[in-house]
Chain A
Amino acid sequence: MHQSILVFRNFRYLKWAAAVIALSVVLYWFHEPAVGIPNGGTWLGYALGGFGAILIGWLMWFGIRKRRYGGGGAPVEDWLSAHVYLGLALIFVATLHTGFQFGWNVHTVAYVLMMIVIVSGVFGMFAYLRVPELMTNNRRGTTLVQMMHEISDLDAACREAALALGDEINQIVLAAAQNTRIGGGVVRQLSGDDPACPTRDANSTVRHLADHAPPGQAEGFRVLLGLLARKEELLARARRDVRYKAILDIWLYFHVPLSFALLGALIAHIVAVFFYW
């Protein structure tokens, strides 16, 4: 019904980016430096470098633009689509600017930082394309908060079901209710799982005990196991939800700070070029 930012406006910004890339490549192809091999110091080198620097500044301006809510101008969707394609075009512009000359110096640091930023952006783009649908399917029309409420209702029901089943079961169920966690540190969030999940432990212990339960308690165990299984399934879904949200967010923790690092390195690169030539 409506389209992703990549197809947006019938690939308008892909066409722009393609034009930038084509122009850079063609110029580079026919460019004969007056002295030596192609590098940043020729007229084309300065042109590509200047354009690349402006492009970086413009790409970073996106962070400001998306937080400026009033007023006219192009919608953020236009900006993001252009940000993605022109960001990718920057690979060509900057690489041709270097003339393929790399070394252990501040210039190459700027280049490498730029590439890491672009790669993190590519990751983000894939996350944005893929994860929303997974997240929606996983939620099945509810929200994380509703899942949490349901889990806490199940906890109460489990404890009630456990009352007639003896102290050991009660303690296991209580521990499962009190110690089960959703989310946590970055790694835990991204894994979408808790290897030591108290509810899972409780479920397997109770299942084991159920096999040796006196016949009078069979029905009680059946009810409790049903509740625990339902809770485990919900926990898995809630953790998956947290995982998806973490994937949608995590790359920005690299993309944005490294952009600022890139900006610093870029300034150092420009200053170095002009003062120590």
Chain B
Amino acid sequence: MQERVTVAIVGSGPAGLSAAGRAAASGVSHVLLEQRDHISDTIYKYQKGKLVMATPDVLPLRSELTFKLGAREDVLGTWGKQISDLKVNVRFNSEVTAISGEKGDFTLKLSDGTTLAAEYVVFAIGLQGNIRLLGVPGQERDWVQYQLDDPDEYSDETIVVVGAGDAGIENALALTKQNNVVILNRGGEFARIKQGNLTAITTAIEKNQLECIYSATTVRVDDDGIAVKTPEGETKVKCDRIIARLGALPPRKFVEACGINFPSSDPSSLPELSAQYESNVPGLYVIGALAGYPLIKQAMNQGYEVVEYIQGNQLKPADEPLLEQKFAKIPGNRTVSEVLAYIQESIPLLSGLTTLQLREFMLDSEVHAPRGGDIIFERNDYTNSFYSIVDGGVNIQIDADDENKIVALGQGTFFGEMGLLSGRRRTATVMANTPSLLIETPRRSMIKLVNSVESVKRVMDEVAVGRQIQTYIAPNIPLADLEDLIHTIRVEKFDQGEVLFHEGDEGDCLYLIQRGSVTVSREIGGKEAVISYVPAGNYVGEMALVSNAPRSATIRAAVAVEALRLDGVPFRALMTRNEAVRQAIEMRYRGRVLENIETTEQPEAGGLIQFLVDQGLGEATDVLLIDEALCVRCDNCEKACAETHQGTSRLNREAGPTYQTIHVPTSCRHCEHPHCMVDCPPDALRRNANGEVYITDSCIGCGNCERNCPYGVIHMAAKPPNKPGLLQWLLLGRGPGPGQAVTGKWGPDSKKASGGPKKAVKCDMCKDVKGGPACVRACPTGAALRVEPSEFFKVVSQGL
């Protein structure tokens, strides 16, 4: 007979374990379904001895299971013991392939062909996804593996890598150093991979560093190797190890197949859930990372809570005390839910949020109660948080030269969205005009919200468009006068290298760059030559509109660009109607004409701009350049960096390309929209008011930022032991010298060389060091300089 339970919990990560633990403890009939033969596969696959962090410290843990900072083995061992003590009903090797039915009577189909009935289903499947297996007999042999932690672990083996995607190629290349590697490619060539990997793998094949078998499909895994079918017939490749990198099925697909809605196709959007983690399908619950809570402690709390909710118990969420504390500033002694209701009522932007989303939003946010006249942020600050006005109001000083020119915003409105969109400095100073209550939300939470709640995105877009037009093109013109223009505006997205318009095209519109930056180029002597660089907050395309001539230059996205497309007809109408706008545009037009002549006369400047844009400087806000005509190669910059940052240099002077005498060393560029921030579970990557992107102590060492950084400037390092002082080294020869690593005979005792936990380290522009970046201050010849690219490009186009 079919097994029947009250709650079926899918996935045995921290969330699932905690849910099952609570169900077992409160006597609810349950089953915990795990597709592998062990619990918590994601943590199980951490490298040996990796510390599992228990952040945030302030969040209380609510679970039948315990959890504190410890090595991977200890954490898993404790959980394993606790679930057996609790008599949790776990079924290993049980992948759920389909779910049908409705609340009270779901049927779960498992991969072994059996079915299972459950009244409620809790999804706690995380984000790792189902790794695709080889799908041939013998795939479960223990020398067939689906991931590679440390390529240096293996030597003198013959290793077959199956899969010619980026992961497979990167693994194969890393293994060739010490092993004999064969890569199996299902296709006849390498397609859909990163350019860098393509070059590397083709070179390696040409040099016979590894062998590639094309058009190969795996048939079976034998005792001593793998059988492969190629167009020439079946062959056997003998090997010691098989590494299959065939990608994973994203968990979202499966959840969507069960009927659960996601508001948008954006990967960062989250499923729609009630305050009790119930999805739009009654009886189906989603908790943990998939629901948008990537930290272990949050996930465990939700596991506990969801089982309580299913039993019909009302329970204050574990984060209640945190919110209470946060709301303490708010006058009137209201309860948390009263405050939340008040916020939602006061701010229309937030009215579309579920209670759960609003709680999460408020947990991430700060509540401020400024007095009248207090400055919220200043023009040119680099903060990128977003503010909503719950009570009171603010004055925005829109003119840098005249502080009396202000726009007032009142209750229910928001500001700060321009910095969020462009990733650039604040365009205005904002101060409270009366005692107010403001909510400040960090960039990441806001982006998550915009991608998850359609209404937020719509309102943000509408208001942002109008404000950008007012800020950058038509100051002092009321929105009402701009309406027919605003209605025609579309937001267009361009990938890096894509063309907004070509030289010689008909000019029928103007682009206001909202995010990213573009290069302006013209055909000179049969070749496209870059003549200038235009960052966000500026417009392009006005020349053709003013002169009624075809486009005079090609505009190309230097990085991913979002631009507002302003239709030519209403824009010309606006220029006719409004003298100030016409004058401003014409002034810009004359400036451009002059600039074009200047740069056309010095092609080397264009070459330099093109080179720097190719190096990704188009999205940088502050970059280290080295003038090699002055650099005496003393490496004092690297030593200074290491000495000011616990012995690990965050810059590599010699690495990186050079154009003429300008060298771009490998070091952080503090991007406008930092790639490293995209997927940081504890939100440890921050940007402060001066623009530095830095890592806070809450880093859990997961390595996501290291992988996400396209410039290779983040790495994982443990804190090295202390060194003797400079004079001791100079006079007595004790310890390693300045900038030298604490290794070799000065290194830590190898017997206890466990090292501390590895955390991500990167350039923080020496924000805590007096006098600014140590690399620049330590350069004896002035070769090292930090520049803001948009300013630097201006200098370049005016002549070196």
* A, B assembled together: yes
Q: For the complex, is B730 an interface residue (Cβ under 8 Å from A)?
A: yes
B780 closest partner in A (C-beta): A80
Report how far A127 CA is from B621 CA in the complex, Å: 34
Q: For the complex, is A185 an interface residue (Cβ under 8 Å from B)?
A: no
Q: B771 to A141, Cβ gap below 8 A?
A: no
Nearest-Cβ distance from residue A241 to partner chain B, whole angstroms: 10
25 A/B residue pairs, CB under 8 Å, sorted by A: A1-B800, A2-B782, A5-B781, A64-B726, A64-B730, A66-B778, A68-B726, A69-B738, A69-B778, A70-B643, A70-B644, A71-B769, A73-B771, A76-B777, A76-B778, A77-B779, A80-B780, A132-B629, A132-B783, A135-B633, A141-B658, A143-B654, A145-B654, A245-B633, A248-B634
Q: For the complex, is A136 an interface residue (Cβ under 8 Å from B)?
A: yes
Nearest-Cβ distance from residue A224 to partner chain B, whole angstroms: 18
Question: Top 6 closest A-B pairs, CB basis?
Answer: A72-B770, A136-B628, A69-B643, A72-B771, A69-B640, A80-B780
Main secondary structure of the interface of A (DSSP, over half): helix
Q: For the complex, is A131 an interface residue (Cβ under 8 Å from B)?
A: yes
Residues of A within 8 A of B228 (CB): none
Q: B774 to A69, Cβ gap below 8 A?
A: yes
Report how far A133 CA is from B628 CA in the complex, Å: 6
> Which range holds the interface residue count of chain B?
35 or more
Residues of B within 8 A of A69 (CB): 639-640, 643-644, 738, 774, 777-778
Q: Which of A8, A127, A136 contacts B658 (CB 8 A)?
A: A136
Q: For the complex, is B746 an interface residue (Cβ under 8 Å from A)?
A: no
> Which range holds the interface residue count of chain A?
35 or more
Report how far A72 CA is from B768 CA in the complex, Å: 11
Nearest-Cβ distance from residue B611 to partner chain A, whole angstroms: 10
Q: For the complex, is A212 an interface residue (Cβ under 8 Å from B)?
A: no
Q: For the complex, is A166 an interface residue (Cβ under 8 Å from B)?
A: no
Residues of B within 8 A of A80 (CB): 780-781
Per-residue CB proximity of B756-787 to A under 8 Å, as 1/0? 00000000000001110010111111110100
Q: For the complex, is A207 an interface residue (Cβ under 8 Å from B)?
A: no
Per-residue CB proximity of A152-194 to B under 8 Å, as 1/0? 0100100000000000000000000000000000000000000
Nearest-Cβ distance from residue A170 to partner chain B, whole angstroms: 19
B657 closest partner in A (C-beta): A141
Residues of A within 8 A of B785 (CB): 2
Report how far A95 CA is from B727 CA in the complex, Å: 32
B642 closest partner in A (C-beta): A69
Q: Which of A2, A64, A141 contacts B627 (CB 8 A)?
A: A2
Report how far A71 CA is from B629 CA in the complex, Å: 28
Q: For the complex, is B594 an interface residue (Cβ under 8 Å from A)?
A: no
Residues of A within 8 A of B795 (CB): 1
Q: For the complex, is B632 an interface residue (Cβ under 8 Å from A)?
A: yes
Report how far A80 CA is from B778 CA in the complex, Å: 10
Report how far A123 CA is from B585 CA in the complex, Å: 56
Residues of A within 8 A of B769 (CB): 70-71
Report how far A1 CA is from B630 CA in the complex, Å: 11
Residues of A within 8 A of B688 (CB): none
Nearest-Cβ distance from residue B679 to partner chain A, whole angstroms: 32
Q: B630 to A4, Cβ gap below 8 A?
A: yes
Q: For the complex, is A216 an interface residue (Cβ under 8 Å from B)?
A: no
Q: B661 to A8, Cβ gap below 8 A?
A: no
Report how far A274 CA is from B795 CA in the complex, Å: 59
Report how far A80 CA is from B785 CA in the complex, Å: 16
Q: For the complex, is A139 an interface residue (Cβ under 8 Å from B)?
A: yes
Report how far A30 CA is from B774 CA in the complex, Å: 47
Q: A8 to B782, Cβ gap below 8 A?
A: yes
Residues of B within 8 A of A2 (CB): 627, 630, 782, 785
Residues of A within 8 A of B654 (CB): 143, 145
Which of A1, A8, A127, A135 has the most B CB atoms < 10 Å from its CB? A1
Q: For the complex, is B75 an interface residue (Cβ under 8 Å from A)?
A: no
Per-residue CB proximity of A206-249 to B under 8 Å, as 1/0? 00000000000000000000000000000000000000010010
Q: A75 to B781, Cβ gap below 8 A?
A: no
Per-residue CB proximity of A244-275 to B under 8 Å, as 1/0? 01001000000000000000000000000000
Nearest-Cβ distance from residue A135 to partner chain B, whole angstroms: 7
Per-residue CB proximity of B149-167 to A under 8 Å, as 1/0? 0000000000000000000
Q: For the complex, is B636 an interface residue (Cβ under 8 Å from A)?
A: yes
Report how far A80 CA is from B657 CA in the complex, Å: 28
Per-residue CB proximity of A60-97 to B under 8 Å, as 1/0? 00011011111111011101100000000000000000
Q: B636 to A76, Cβ gap below 8 A?
A: yes
Residues of B within 8 A of A5 (CB): 780-782
Report how far A71 CA is from B783 CA in the complex, Å: 20
Q: For the complex, is A3 an interface residue (Cβ under 8 Å from B)?
A: yes
Residues of B within 8 A of A153 (CB): 207
Q: B636 to A128, Cβ gap below 8 A?
A: no
Q: For the complex, is B659 an interface residue (Cβ under 8 Å from A)?
A: yes
Q: For the complex, is B227 an interface residue (Cβ under 8 Å from A)?
A: no
In chain B, positions 270-284 with a C-beta closer than 8 Å to chain A are none
In chain B, positions 642-658 with a C-beta closer than 8 Å to chain A are 643-644, 654-655, 657-658
Per-residue CB proximity of A1-30 to B under 8 Å, as 1/0? 111110010000000000000000000000
Residues of A within 8 A of B770 (CB): 70-72
Report how far A164 CA is from B134 CA in the complex, Å: 44
In chain B, positions 593-634 with a C-beta closer than 8 Å to chain A are 627-634
Residues of B within 8 A of A66 (CB): 636, 778, 780
Residues of B within 8 A of A127 (CB): 632
Nearest-Cβ distance from residue B203 to partner chain A, whole angstroms: 10
B661 closest partner in A (C-beta): A136
Report how far A8 CA is from B781 CA in the complex, Å: 9
Nearest-Cβ distance from residue B774 to partner chain A, whole angstroms: 5
Nearest-Cβ distance from residue B769 to partner chain A, whole angstroms: 6
In chain B, positions 730-747 with a C-beta closer than 8 Å to chain A are 730, 737-738
Q: B644 to A133, Cβ gap below 8 A?
A: no
Nearest-Cβ distance from residue A80 to partner chain B, whole angstroms: 4
Residues of A within 8 A of B777 (CB): 69, 75-76
Report how far A80 CA is from B783 CA in the complex, Å: 13
Residues of A within 8 A of B655 (CB): 143
Q: A132 to B630, Cβ gap below 8 A?
A: yes
Residues of A within 8 A of B779 (CB): 75-77
Nearest-Cβ distance from residue A84 to partner chain B, whole angstroms: 10
A140 closest partner in B (C-beta): B658
Q: Which of A1, A70, A135, A248 contacts B774 (CB 8 A)?
A: A70
Q: B629 to A133, Cβ gap below 8 A?
A: yes
Report how far A72 CA is from B779 CA in the complex, Å: 14
Which of B630, B639, B769 has the most A CB atoms < 10 Å from its CB? B630
Asked, given contacts A69-B738, A132-B628, whether A76 binds B658 with beta carbons under 8 Å apart, the answer is: no
Asked, given contacts A67-B738, A77-B782, A141-B658, whether A132 binds B771 with beta carbons under 8 Å apart, the answer is: no
B629 closest partner in A (C-beta): A133
Q: A75 to B800, Cβ gap below 8 A?
A: no
